[in-house]
Structure 1
Amino acid sequence: MPLGERHAGDKSESRYCGVEADFDDDMPNLLSFNVHGGFDFVVATLMDPSYRPSLLDNETSRSRALPFAGSDLVLSPSQWSSHVVGKISSWIDLDSEDETLRKDSEIVLKQEIAWASHLSLQACLLPTPKGASCANYAKCLNQILQNLGNMQLWLRIPLEKPEGVTDANNPDFMEERINDSWELWNSFRLLCEHHTQLSVALEILSSLPSASSVGRWFGEPVRAAIVNTSAFLTNAKGYPCLSKRHQMLVTAFFNHSVQIVVSGQPVHSIPLGVSGSDSDNNVGGGWRHPLKSYLDYLAYLYQKMGPLPEQERFELGYRDYLQSPLQPLMDNLEAQTYETFEKDTVKYSQYQRAVAKALVDRVPDENASTVTTVLMVVGAGRGPLVRASLQAAEETERKLKVYAVEKNPNAVVTLHSLVKLEGWEDVVTIVSSDMRDWDAPEKADILVSELLGSFGDNELSPECLDGAQRFLKEDGISIPSSYTSFIQPITACKLYNDIKSHKDLVHFETAYVVKLHRVARLAHPQPVFTFNHPKPSSESSNERYTKLLFDIPSDTGSALINGFGGYFDATLYKDVHLGIEPATATPNMFSWFPIFFPLRTPIYVQPGTPLEVHFWRCCGSTKVWYEWCITSPSPSPMHNTSGRSYWVGL
């Protein structure tokens, strides 16, 4: 049975728990034993481990059937596909100095994967590379991957990293790099060109490396976590349990749709007094699977997580899904897009707070009944900021006159309907015009806009508000008053592979809006560009350039950087802010996902080596674009030169 459900409709693959089994030539019995014991699938060796091609003479090898665990008919196709993960023989060593062993290994690897593919298995577990070099192993696997079909290959990698040596100048540093299991995985996947069907089965042992070192793996394609029984502790009642750090790791795997596989022999005895009558745990007169107590504990951890928050449920379908950013000036938004943004009550609540504070500062209490504040909503859309502003006026008992300026003629239709429906005709004037072209009949006390993008300025808020600033009074208030963009280096293998699949330059030089999920955040975000409104000087340029230096924590180990996560933080008015920068993000707000700036070639960074990054915001007569590059530890190509691949049209 599944580990459980966190909420109705939970479809995460991590609900299902597997068990690693030894070779058994009676596959139906092996599967029945483990499924009846509560596990969902078995990781099973497919071929008799005593088989060696070199021990057979040519005549025998031609006439004898290979010693697989039964024929394909012993299980139904759905059983093979749903309940069996093939385990490639662990003895193979494709980089052995022993030529006979190496050749035997090459033959058996091909035979076993061919058999697994014939059975339509969804995945096969590959043994850990035996030594520092894995070139021949990768070479053979590359040949197999060319014609593999849909099956996934999980490379078994132990989660370990020696502690203590972190200085690249230390003579022991190279030895540590070799022993760092992430280095082993990185070498292998680079030799296999980041193939999308090659992923990781991470083996969890009794000790864990540092939190920063473990964090690297959340940006890698980890499909399974193999938890050895030796990693479990014993609680006061004699049952298996995990340390706090192991619990946090397993829970994080659950959240990242990583399946758990229990491995090893039972090292805990069932405490006295446990009944053999529980039908959930027993089969046929009190029998209980020897690893059931480990499965029960993992189910407890899964169910303890509780239901996903509403915002995360809304965002599930967008996780790690690349979207092109909006072109707000070139394109008119559709009704569905407006509707999505309008559901973000947190955002408009923050705007209402900001407008209320501005109204109180603008008009003292003694003048509240006589002074009318002129407020202009530029980019009014279908009216949510108009509504928030009027609610702020009602809350503060201030008089308000509103101009709602909107360039999208389709949204203007809805605006007129809204004003009539709400009875705002005497308060709200609708202006169907681009804010940069409109000649206002009077100047505004307060200018309100929601032109921010995921990177703050990437939807041309600076250019739009520059055009609108001419009808703001000298002492007028702009909401927002400022905003700053941020970036941080991340490992994001899924995003990198999705972009690579297009096989062109354009996609690697495009910034995408994406709900970052399966990523490793390698350093704290740093500020990039800041814009203030009203603009201090009409002569100042909206072009920007900055150089940033990131220090990845030394206990992380080496890492591979696929690009940068981008965020923003905005000050609406005084102490009222909103944003998505992780450290200060506005809770429960979903109007913006982060932006992702990819790298054409991932950058390998060793511990203790700073990462030097350069970002430009460039402005032309018809477009605005970004350029970016890395200069240390090794230079990258300049990305998006002259906006050749990605720009925002003016």
Structure 2
Amino acid sequence: MNHNIQFSQTCHISFYNFVQIDPSYRPSSMICRTNSRVILPFAGSDKVLTLSQWNLHVVGKISSWIDLDSEDEILRKASEFALKQEIERGSYLSLRACVLPTPKRASCANYARCVNEILQNLKHMKLWLRIPLKKFDDDPKDANSNQMVGMADSWEMWNSFRRLCEYHNKLAIVLDATGTLPSANSIGRWIGEPVKAAIIHTNTFTTNNKGPYLSRRRQNLAIDMFSHSMQVIISGKLDLKALSETYNKTSANDIPKHPFKSYLDSLSLLYQRMDPHAGIELCEFGEKDYLQEHSQPLLDNLQSLAYEELEKNEAKYNQYRLAISQALINRISDKDAPVNVAVVIVVGAGRGLLVRAAFKAARETRRRVRIYAVEKNPNAVISLDNMIKNEDLENYVHVVCCDIRSWSTDDKADILVGMPIILTYKFFSDCVSDFLGSFGDDELSPECLDAAQKFLKDDGMLIPCACTSYLQPVTTSRVYNRIKLDKKSQFETPYNVKLYTVARVAPSKRVFTFIHPNNLSTSKTNERYTKIQFKIPPETGAALVHGFAGYFEAILYQDIRICTEPSRITPRILGWFPLYFPLTEPVYVASGVPLELDFWRCCDQTKVWYEWSVTSPTLSHVHNSCGDSYSVNL
């Protein structure tokens, strides 16, 4: 809350999460020292609030007159002195953040240099740069205007500023939502940036007999802020003298109505209408934007906790059940159903949920089945075996504890379904697989299903019968900064990430498609190479790409599929976070300029890995060359 009050004044904070307070002085000249004695600014004692109140409920505001890129040397030097002194005061008070004023012009190199110097010595406090979120006119204004001279897009100014500050992780943004808002695509870019708050001015509210309210677009902006854990700051002028008199006249038992209370109530109604976990399942909420190392599915045995998480994905098992049901109906007619037996081989059966899905599909379709559950993890086999006994499935399910690559059987499958459940009956067999990783083929689904093809009859089928990977350029400053804290080589490694504070700056594009069984594909090798061109919509403006989010779409059987690509995502699908491919250096992409990516899936006798390189508008090195930083072992 911007009360425009001094550091020395006490503020009533019970209505709000935090208040924003201004300093109240300005040096009269560039000379701020006389006779080696520092001239102290006017400020009250820090004891007017407790330390925890300063730390948890107050955000400082740096003086708005400061102009470190002014051509006036006196003003420039006075600004630099005041900036450092005010931030030092905020640090002394243990404030969590101070809001820096908006740069006065597009060229703000000296301002950024001074801020970067300060950031190097800050221990706990963060700096929030105030950026106007508005649609600028084409005509630049003069230097005394609130609009930055020569700046048509405030994002460009922010991008230049943070680059000069070396992408420091203590530098964040406060969006000032004044004037006409830009397009939805343009606003969407900011979701991937380190935005801590948005300022909504009281004069942007419309008032009726029920009180103040926001336009539909500004309501959507506020909801976007809430849903991404950003603060909303109400800003407006207050008559401090009248406010003080109101508090003094109020008895100790009464809570006076704050002048901003009606605006706060309007925003509270918006917050109450939204789901605080909208777009993210409760079981995934704690995973947002955290880096997870990629698994080694053929080498590592999963722990019980991993199975517990995988088994929460009810939508996945339901899709497999539907696919198996449809496959059984198409492979065995109603007439032959009492006679023929479908042999189902579940490869990678885990603790049995795919086995249960296959058996349920058989019961629903009234088909007879004999199921083989193949699982290499001996600890999971114990749970699997107990499930079969507890559910009286011993007459239908045979457990095989071994790697699919070393197993053999005389039963040939009609349908191979992935991890695989293999469906077989009489003269035909079917097989089903769930080796799908975050990128479709990143957990060696092609290699595993190729190995399982030996169980198929010539006219047998695989579920999934096809899998396509997708890539999408994204802005995600939080993830970039988390990788940056580790070694530089970490940028050569893809991560499973539940992307939360992310801006998807261009539509996804297809990368690789694998057809199963492999003898139906024109490509007999699982190596792949492609060149992808992304086009950022013109209304979005320029963007900074930190990396690429990887998704997949698996066609299980006919029109039954599982998809994690955001525009076509399977409802309530869990467990598959995007596979994020980072860039060592973020790539600036100007409006209207295409972004080109070269992408490889490489294989040798012992491992599989990805390599990637941006080739336009700038040229990056080839990430993860020869699989030196990341690979999946066969």
Specify whether residues 433 and 303 from structure 1 end up closer, same or farther in structure 2 by C-alpha distance, changes over 3 A only. Answer: same
Equivalent residue runs for 1:291-306 within 5 Å: 291-306=260-275
Q: Which amino acid aligns with 1:335?
A: S
Q: Which amino acid aligns with 2:214?
A: L
Deviation at 1:81, TM superposition (A): 1.0
- CA offsets per residue over residues 116-170 of structure 1, 9 Å max, x none? 11111101011111112111111111111111111111001101243679xxxxx
- CA offsets per residue over residues 464-508 of structure 1, 9 Å max, x none? 110110111111121111111001100011111111111322x10
CA distance in 1 between partners of 2:348 and 2:251 (Å): 65
Specify whether residues 399 and 184 from structure 1 end up closer, same or farther in structure 2 by C-alpha distance, changes over 3 A only. Answer: same
Number of the residue aligned with 1:114? 88
Specify whether residues 164 and 115 from structure 1 end up closer, same or farther in structure 2 by C-alpha distance, changes over 3 A only. Answer: closer
Residues 189 and 198 in structure 1, CA contact (< 8 A), matched pair in contact too: yes
Number of the residue aligned with 2:597? 613
- Say whether 1:192 aligns with 2:175: no
CA distance in 1 between partners of 2:583 and 2:181 (Å): 30
- Say whether 1:218 aligns with 2:191: yes
- Say whether 1:363 aligns with 2:332: yes
Deviation at 1:75, TM superposition (A): 1.7
- Say whether 1:488 aligns with 2:461: no
Number of the residue aligned with 1:40? 17
CA distance in 1 between partners of 2:115 and 2:567 (Å): 42
Specify whether residues 285 and 429 from structure 1 end up closer, same or farther in structure 2 by C-alpha distance, changes over 3 A only. Answer: closer
CA distance in 2 between partners of 1:600 and 1:119 (Å): 37
Specify whether residues 307 and 20 from structure 1 end up closer, same or farther in structure 2 by C-alpha distance, changes over 3 A only. Answer: closer
Specify whether residues 233 and 406 from structure 1 end up closer, same or farther in structure 2 by C-alpha distance, changes over 3 A only. Answer: same
- CA offsets per residue over residues 564-619 of structure 1, 9 Å max, x none? 11100111111111121112211111121111000111110111111111111111
SS, match of residue 490 in structure 1: strand
CA distance in 1 between partners of 2:546 and 2:129 (Å): 21
SS, match of residue 325 in structure 1: coil
CA distance in 1 between partners of 2:460 and 2:552 (Å): 24
Residues 45 and 87 in structure 1, CA contact (< 8 A), matched pair in contact too: yes
Residues 531 and 599 in structure 2, CA contact (< 8 A), matched pair in contact too: yes
Specify whether residues 647 and 608 from structure 1 end up closer, same or farther in structure 2 by C-alpha distance, changes over 3 A only. Answer: same
RMSD: 2.1
- Say whether 1:251 aligns with 2:223: yes
- Say whether 1:135 aligns with 2:119: no
CA distance in 2 between partners of 1:218 and 1:310 (Å): 14
The number of residues matched between the two structures is 601
Number of the residue aligned with 1:343? 312
Number of the residue aligned with 2:516? 533
Deviation at 1:23, TM superposition (A): 3.6
Equivalent of residue 103 in structure 1, options 60, 77, 82: 77
CA distance in 2 between partners of 1:219 and 1:558 (Å): 13
Structure 2, unpaired ranges of 5+ = 140-147, 240-245, 414-428
Number of the residue aligned with 1:205? 178
Q: Which amino acid aligns with 2:373?
A: A
Equivalent of residue 62 in structure 1, options 37, 47, 57: 37
Number of the residue aligned with 2:201? 228
Specify whether residues 39 and 311 from structure 1 end up closer, same or farther in structure 2 by C-alpha distance, changes over 3 A only. Answer: closer
Aligned residues: percent identity? 52
Deviation at 1:265, TM superposition (A): 2.6
Deviation at 1:55, TM superposition (A): 5.8
Equivalent of residue 125 in structure 2, options 138, 151, 174: 151
Specify whether residues 467 and 63 from structure 1 end up closer, same or farther in structure 2 by C-alpha distance, changes over 3 A only. Answer: closer
Residues 29 and 74 in structure 2, CA contact (< 8 A), matched pair in contact too: no
- CA offsets per residue over residues 220-243 of structure 1, 9 Å max, x none? 0000111112222233x2622111
Number of the residue aligned with 2:143? none
SS, match of residue 181 in structure 2: coil
CA distance in 2 between partners of 1:176 and 1:394 (Å): 72
- CA offsets per residue over residues 55-77 of structure 1, 9 Å max, x none? 65613x71643322x12222211
Specify whether residues 494 and 308 from structure 1 end up closer, same or farther in structure 2 by C-alpha distance, changes over 3 A only. Answer: closer
Equivalent residue runs for 1:102-501 within 5 Å: 102-162=76-136, 178-235=151-208, 237=209, 239-265=211-237, 287-306=256-275, 308=277, 312-444=281-413, 445-501=429-485
Equivalent of residue 514 in structure 1, options 489, 497, 504: 497
Specify whether residues 188 and 604 from structure 1 end up closer, same or farther in structure 2 by C-alpha distance, changes over 3 A only. Answer: same
Residues 203 and 236 in structure 2, CA contact (< 8 A), matched pair in contact too: yes
Specify whether residues 372 and 282 from structure 1 end up closer, same or farther in structure 2 by C-alpha distance, changes over 3 A only. Answer: farther
Q: Which amino acid aligns with 1:105?
A: S
Specify whether residues 634 and 227 from structure 1 end up closer, same or farther in structure 2 by C-alpha distance, changes over 3 A only. Answer: same
Number of the residue aligned with 1:271? none
Specify whether residues 221 and 286 from structure 1 end up closer, same or farther in structure 2 by C-alpha distance, changes over 3 A only. Answer: closer
Residues 431 and 462 in structure 2, CA contact (< 8 A), matched pair in contact too: yes
Deviation at 1:179, TM superposition (A): 2.7
CA distance in 2 between partners of 1:619 and 1:57 (Å): 68
Number of the residue aligned with 1:81? 55
- Say whether 1:93 aligns with 2:67: yes
Residues 53 and 107 in structure 1, CA contact (< 8 A), matched pair in contact too: no
Number of the residue aligned with 1:24? 6
SS, match of residue 251 in structure 1: helix
Number of the residue aligned with 2:620? 636
Specify whether residues 613 and 309 from structure 1 end up closer, same or farther in structure 2 by C-alpha distance, changes over 3 A only. Answer: closer
SS, match of residue 27 in structure 1: coil
Select the structure with the greater relative contact order (CA < 8 A; seq sep ≥ 6): 1
TM-score, structure 1 length as denominator? 0.89
Deviation at 1:286, TM superposition (A): 8.3
Residues 466 and 516 in structure 2, CA contact (< 8 A), matched pair in contact too: yes
Specify whether residues 306 and 489 from structure 1 end up closer, same or farther in structure 2 by C-alpha distance, changes over 3 A only. Answer: closer
Q: Which amino acid aligns with 1:44?
A: I
Q: Which amino acid aligns with 1:49?
A: Y
Residues 124 and 153 in structure 1, CA contact (< 8 A), matched pair in contact too: yes
- CA offsets per residue over residues 82-136 of structure 1, 9 Å max, x none? 2211111111111111111111111111111111111111010111111121111
CA distance in 2 between partners of 1:457 and 1:293 (Å): 54
Number of the residue aligned with 1:5? none
Specify whether residues 562 and 63 from structure 1 end up closer, same or farther in structure 2 by C-alpha distance, changes over 3 A only. Answer: closer
- CA offsets per residue over residues 509-555 of structure 1, 9 Å max, x none? 11111111101001111111111111126970001111111110111
Q: Which amino acid aligns with 1:22?
A: N
Residues 104 and 149 in structure 2, CA contact (< 8 A), matched pair in contact too: no
Residues 481 and 572 in structure 1, CA contact (< 8 A), matched pair in contact too: yes
Number of the residue aligned with 1:51? 27
Residues 135 and 179 in structure 2, CA contact (< 8 A), matched pair in contact too: no
SS, match of residue 366 in structure 1: coil
Q: Which amino acid aligns with 2:41?
A: L
CA distance in 2 between partners of 1:595 and 1:283 (Å): 57
Specify whether residues 316 and 586 from structure 1 end up closer, same or farther in structure 2 by C-alpha distance, changes over 3 A only. Answer: same
TM-score, structure 2 length as denominator? 0.91
Deviation at 1:427, TM superposition (A): 1.4
Deviation at 1:330, TM superposition (A): 1.3
CA distance in 2 between partners of 1:164 and 1:347 (Å): 50
CA distance in 2 between partners of 1:635 and 1:453 (Å): 29
CA distance in 2 between partners of 1:318 and 1:420 (Å): 35
CA distance in 1 between partners of 2:7 and 2:405 (Å): 76
Residues 23 and 49 in structure 1, CA contact (< 8 A), matched pair in contact too: no
